[in-house]
Chains A and B, each alone.
Chain A
Amino acid sequence: MISILGLVLAPLVLGTPTTASAGESRPLAIRADRVLLADGKTLSPGVILAEDGRITAVGSDVDIPKDAAVVEHKGTAGAGLIALHSYSGAPWEMRDSTRTVLPDARVALAFDPARSDFEDALEAGITSLVLAPMPVALCGGISALVKTAGGTVVERDAQLSLGFSAQSLRNDRFPTSYGAAIAELERLFEKPEGTFARAASKKLPVLFEVTSREDVARAVEFSARHGLAGAIHGAAWAGELAEQVKSAGLSVVCGPLQVGEERRDLLAVLALAKAGVPFGFGLDAPGNHPAMLRTGAAMCVREGLDRATAWRALTSEAARIAGAGERVGALAKGMSADIVLWSGDPLDLASAVKAVYVDGKLAWEAKP
């Protein structure tokens, strides 16, 4: 039973992520033993000040306004984690079994923020998720970046999903062969119109769905030929062609990295880091548990990935790949006040989430 993408499931708040009206809330001040910044630096101790859902100041010596609600945290404060590529809230809405080119199907219109997997994600310290079409169509639609608290849409047009793998082929509808699939994609971008035109002018990033080394090579070539910007989803293969991916100016969505993931896939992530390719991590919830986002990153760290790079991949780099690097993913002035309080270093799995703030409001708190 698969309904067509585009069906409105729930009333959604579109537009600006922070809509708290002035005067409604007091400023929030979080004083933590350590505050993780996007550039890998740590303030210890540090203060984060937020008002009306946005961060107004971050520093070691920030004046805390008298009327502020002050939170003292014995531990580490960091930006909320961002998962790239997930099906949360709409596992059955991410695919269309009859058509293969759906350039205007927006996932932003088809998810249910009341589904319990959103709260699961919040508990795992994930404050934003990219909801993506399943990689089973030539063009599955447009992914969206949404917040896990309340389902606020941060970016309605995150990426245009393009199926570059054999997964987009089916034997009961066009295309049934790989050649036909590539030919059709070429045709769509030859004289691009509508959504494809936006992609071709780099206004809308694309996400190449790949499953093999050849897929990566073709995607890199295709991207250069049509002047596209965006990312490749399929780290293992992209990692082995890291230099080409880098020179094409593409980013990579890694994983999701499962427990027991082939070491080769983990080393591919290290290769991306070494080549300087921007990357973030996918999750594919609700099939996968949201805690997997962090365990995957920790597995890469165990194999030798630099901690600062891993942290950026979980936060600021992921935000940039999702087209919202100026709004979420870092503790800096002007950003959404999406803050996670950890008991220790978030890349140490023995650290736990103590509290999660989204848009400056307490969205989840651990039991005492």
Chain B
Amino acid sequence: MPESSEWLHEEMLRGGQMASLVLKRGQILQLTDVDGGACLSVLLFNADFPLERYNMPDTLKAQHIARLTAGNVLYSDMGRVLCSVVADSLGWHDTITGVMDARVMTEKYGVGSYQALRNERHRNGRDNLLVELAKFGLGKRDFGPNVNFFVKVEPDASGQLRFITAHSPPGSSVELRAELNTLLVLSATPHPLDPEPRYLPKSVKLSIRAGKAATADDACFRSCPENARGFALTEAYFR
């Protein structure tokens, strides 16, 4: 664990809050579920050319996975690696069940308006991410399947899904290393399948430190032959 002086940037996302940041190639973003039970919903884009973006199916089929953990990478729709998952205390992060919208939020928690609650108002992943996307000229058409860090929704043998409660204990963390300059748009808001009946969004800490892009001896590079080719295409992009 680096000394606090090694962090280039630290930011606490309060439960319900959204943010965006550009992680430069090689930099590492550590995400920490401070109190446990967080859901950090994230969309990712090539910061230099945002038409290139995270592609859930390409990520899953290249690595023969239905979840994300250390050793996996997040592919763009152009065969390149946006980010590598270089550390993970959990073993499972969701990318197949999306985010909550305003309609589902009201059905689940009732009305939580600004007028009544001021800045404790209820906020949902879809609205938060749309606001943050708009700051980069992006919108609904750019809103594809996202990653839900700290969330596990497990399929059984027949494909039925079950939300795993208490999956992420306090202090759980996952680290992403940018392989392209990556725009991340993030929202710390409850997952729509979380059975908790009260609106209790959880905080997530964001910490960025310097690092180096993957080389051929990297665990993500070596985890499958597909990733070696994905990194080769990524390297070629910067040549």
The answer on A and B forming one complex is no
Please list the residues of chain A having a beta carbon within 8 angstroms of any beta carbon in chain B.
Answer: none
